[in-house]
């Protein structure tokens, strides 16, 4: 909601609470919350306040709602603000006067690109997403987590939060040794094609250029060395090369990270030991069979978790202790966006936050579900174990950054995604990103066909009293939702609502374009409709920008 509509609803809330107090003395204070009605024809907003009063009133919610509507109908101020106040199925429905929407539109035009932007609130959010093992190129799962994370980061910044984005490089475990042996096998195969590849290795062809680079630099030197001599080099070169490739892919995808945090660097800096010591000092660890355990069951987990193995090596979870301890210390809220195989991790992380002395709700995690790639009716095969991977770069090459970013965010993160690569390339209204971008470009076309003086006058603030057509009011109502919509996205960690909203704005604009002649003969009507186009284009561009999608002037 815009400030204009929010202020109007505040006035109605006070009037309704006064009516409740007068009609039902002694009733507990009622929260008057507003939501969209079940059907647009019911009004612009609705409140279910009557439902909470039914027991006190000893009447059905519809009777309570009807009585309260009768009590407020005669208030002059409300008549100025609302064209209709009615009761339907226990809900109190409100429809704003056209003047309210006209004032809201005027505010949007005055605010311009800053419409809905909240001032800094000095609350820091640590947002980690996209993180991948440095053992191969980024694949579609990272494409989805990067899209979700970057969109949430943009929405949070819009709402005034200080967002610090982080990528964790998982380079502290045995997988780096596996990577080194895999690169070495490709290196040896340069000289002996029959050299065996390790069963547990990474079979993708992407390791061959890395092996070739070592051969170019050192020749056959490592053919005759023991593993203890060559493994550190092959592991490090493989790790560094792949991390750099991942960085380039992420940058190509339009996603920025404030920190690329190496797990190995955490260990080398003593951060892992410091985090472990904090848990030991707080008495939430114990030793058994030579290993150190975290009392995870004390904090809601299904079993206690090993922190340090009996041979002295820290577990992945121990590294997470250090990493999250550091993040909790420097941020008011910590959010991790994890892949589909991490469901059990959410409760574990919340328990860790509690064990470290923080509120459980200070740390949260969001799961990005599985992805099925399709080309029309044909499923695209993906198997990392077999070496059949579809990289994020492959997706970008085929459909482009815009379509990839939009499609990856379309469904709720917790819902599986079916990504139709063929649809993503179509230039038709069936392609959701094309449909939204076409709305922006269509408005640009209107401006090109309009008189430049008219467009300038509309930007300067033209009279808007003529905007009363249902399609005009529906479009204003939609674009005025931007501030509350983004707030909802942040509160619920629901970036998919931005893509849905973008489609709704585009749909309402296309309807307005069809039903109302924008470049009308009457100049007053023409300027008012151009003003609505200006505001709509600004909102579309802002939402597309949050999702990481361009707003083209032509299609």
Give the pLDDT confidence of 13-35 residue by residue, as tens digits: 999 999 999 999 988 888 899 99
Averaged over 536-547, what is the pLDDT? 98
Answer yes or no: is pLDDT of 515 > 80: yes
Q: Model confidence at 384, in pLDDT bands (50, 70, 90)?
A: low
> Mean of the pLDDT values across residues 497-515?
98
Neighbouring-strand partners of residue 169:
262
> How would residue 382 be classed by pLDDT, with cut points 50, 70 and 90?
confident
- pLDDT confidence band for 401 (50 / 70 / 90): very high
In this structure, what DSSP letter does residue 32 have?
A: -
What share of the chain in percent tops pLDDT 90? 85
Is pLDDT of 245 > 80?
A: yes
Q: What percent of the chain stands above pLDDT 70? A: 99
What is the residue-averaged pLDDT of the chain? Answer: 94
Who's near 72: CB < 8 A, 6+ residues apart?
Answer: 12, 15, 16, 19, 78, 85
- Whether the CB-CB separation of 30 and 49 falls below 8 Å is answered with yes
Picking from 27, 99, 32, 89, the residue whose alpha carbon sits closest to that of residue 62 is 89
Residue 383: the pLDDT is 61
Residue 339 CA to residue 129 CA, distance in Å, equals 9
Band of the pLDDT at 385, cuts 50, 70, 90?
low
* Nearest-angstrom CA–CA distance, 64 and 54: 7
Q: Over 60: is that where the pLDDT of 317 sits? A: yes
Got the DSSP string for 278-317? Answer: HHHHTT-EEEETTEEEE-GGGGT-SS-EEEE-TTSPBPHH
Query: What is the structure's pLDDT at 75?
Result: 95
Give the ranges where 175-219 is alpha helix by DSSP (H).
175-191, 208-218
Q: pTM score, two decimals?
A: 0.92
Neighbours of 480 (CB within 10 A): 28
Do you know the residue count of the chain? 555
Mean pLDDT computed over 496-505: 98
In the predicted structure, residue 36 carries a pLDDT above the cut 90: no
Q: CA Rg, the chain, in Å?
A: 29
Work out the angle at residue 279's Cα, subtended by the Cα atoms of residues 276 and 282, and round it to the nearest 5 degrees.
150
pLDDT for position 522: 97
Residue 301: strand pairing partners: none
State the angle between helix axes of 523-547 and 432-449 in degrees (0 to 180), rounded to the nearest 10.
140
Cβ atoms of residues 201 and 136 within 8 Å: no
pLDDT at 343 exceeding the cut of 80: no
- φ, ψ of residue 125 to 5 degrees: the values are -115, 125
Of 312, 328, 321, 307, nearest in space to 352 by CA = 321
pLDDT digits (tens, 9 = 90+) for 166-179: 999 989 878 999 99
**Mean pLDDT, rounded, for 244-270:** 95
Q: What is the pLDDT of residues 73-98, one digit of tens each?
A: 989 999 999 999 999 999 999 999 99
Please state, in angstroms and rounded to a whole number, the distance separating the CA atoms of residues 224 and 479.
Answer: 69
Dihedral (Cα; 314, 316, 322, 327), 10-degree rounding = 170
Please report the pLDDT score of residue 447 as a whole number.
Answer: 98
Quick one: pLDDT band at residue 38, thresholds 50, 70, 90? confident
What is the average pLDDT across 123-137?
94
Which pLDDT value is given to residue 388?
Answer: 67
Output the pLDDT for position 27: 86
- Indicate if the pLDDT at residue 141 is higher than 80: yes
Helix axes 392-409, 140-158, angle to 10 degrees: 40
What is the signed CA dihedral for 274, 276, 278, 279, rounded to 10 degrees? 170
**Range ranked top by mean pLDDT from 53-57, 110-114, 139-143, 531-535:** 531-535
pLDDT confidence band for 387 (50 / 70 / 90): low
Domains and CATH numbers, the chain: 3-96 (3.30.1360.70), 124-169+256-367 (3.40.50.620), 175-252 (no CATH), 428-547 (1.10.730.10)
CA atoms within 13 A on the CB side of 206: 25
pLDDT, tens digit (0-9, with 9 covering 90-100), for 424-482:
999 999 999 999 999 999 999 999 999 999 999 999 999 999 999 999 999 999 999 99
Number of H helices, E strands in the chain: 21, 14
């Amino acid at each position: 909601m815009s400030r204009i509509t929010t202020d109007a609803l505040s006035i109605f809330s006070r009037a309704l609470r006064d009516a409740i107090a007068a009609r039902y003395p002694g009733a507990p204070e009622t929260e008057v919350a507003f939501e969209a009605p079940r059907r647009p024809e019911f009004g612009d907003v609705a409140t279910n306040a009557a439902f909470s009063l039914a027991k006190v009133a000893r009447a059905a919610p519809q009777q309570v709602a009807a009585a309260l509507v009768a009590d407020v109908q005669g208030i002059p101020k409300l008549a100025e603000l609302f064209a209709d106040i009615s009761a339907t199925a226990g809900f109190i429905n409100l429809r704003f006067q056209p003047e309210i929407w006209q004032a809201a539109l005027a505010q949007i035009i005055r605010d311009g690109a800053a419409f809905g932007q909240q001032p800094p609130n000095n609350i820091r959010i640590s947002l980690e997403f996209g993180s991948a093992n440095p053992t191969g190129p980024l694949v579609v799962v990272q494409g989805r987590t990067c899209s979700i994370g970057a969109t949430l980061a943009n929405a949070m910044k819009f709402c005034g939060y200080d967002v610090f984005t982080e990528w964790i490089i998982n380079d502290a475990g045995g997988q780096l040794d596996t990577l080194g042996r895999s690169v070495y096998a490709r290196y040896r195969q340069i000289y002996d094609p029959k050299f065996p590849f390790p069963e547990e290795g990474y079979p993708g062809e992407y390791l061959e250029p890395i092996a070739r680079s070592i051969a170019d630099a050192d020749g056959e030197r490592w053919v005759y060395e023991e593993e203890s001599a060559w493994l550190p080099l092959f592991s490090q070169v493989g790790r560094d090369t792949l991390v750099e490739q991942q960085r380039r892919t992420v940058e190509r995808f339009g996603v920025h990270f404030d920190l690329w945090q190496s797990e190995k660097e955490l260990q080398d800096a003593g951060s892992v030991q410091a985090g472990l010591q904090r848990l030991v000092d707080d008495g939430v660890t114990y030793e058994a069979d030579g290993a150190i355990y975290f009392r995870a069951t004390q904090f809601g987990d299904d079993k206690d978790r090993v922190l340090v193995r009996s041979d002295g090596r820290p577990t992945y979870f121990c590294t997470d202790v250090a990493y999250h301890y550091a993040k909790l210390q420097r941020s008011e809220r910590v959010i991790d966006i994890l892949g589909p195989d991490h469901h059990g991790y959410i409760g574990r992380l919340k328990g860790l936050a509690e064990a470290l002395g923080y509120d459980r709700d200070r740390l949260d995690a969001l799961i990005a579900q599985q992805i099925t790639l399709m080309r029309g009716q044909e499923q695209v095969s993906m198997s990392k174990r077999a070496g059949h991977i579809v990289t994020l770069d492959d997706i970008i090459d085929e459909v482009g950054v815009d379509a990839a970013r939009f499609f990856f965010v379309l469904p709720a993160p917790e819902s599986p995604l079916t990504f139709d690569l063929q649809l993503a390339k179509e230039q038709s209204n069936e392609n959701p990103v094309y449909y939204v971008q076409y709305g922006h470009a269509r408005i640009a076309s209107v401006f090109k066909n309009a008189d430049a003086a008219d467009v300038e006058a509309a930007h300067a603030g033209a009279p808007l009293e003529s905007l009363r057509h249902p399609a005009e009011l529906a479009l204003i109502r939609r674009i005025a939702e931007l501030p509350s919509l983004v707030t909802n996205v942040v509160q619920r960690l629901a970036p998919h609502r931005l893509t849905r909203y973008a489609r709704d704005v585009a749909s309402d604009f296309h309807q307005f374009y069809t039903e109302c002649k924008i470049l009308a003969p009457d100049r007053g009507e023409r300027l008012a409709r151009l003003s609505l186009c200006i505001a709509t284009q600004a909102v579309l561009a802002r939402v597309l920008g949050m999702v990481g999608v361009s707003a083209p002037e032509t299609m």
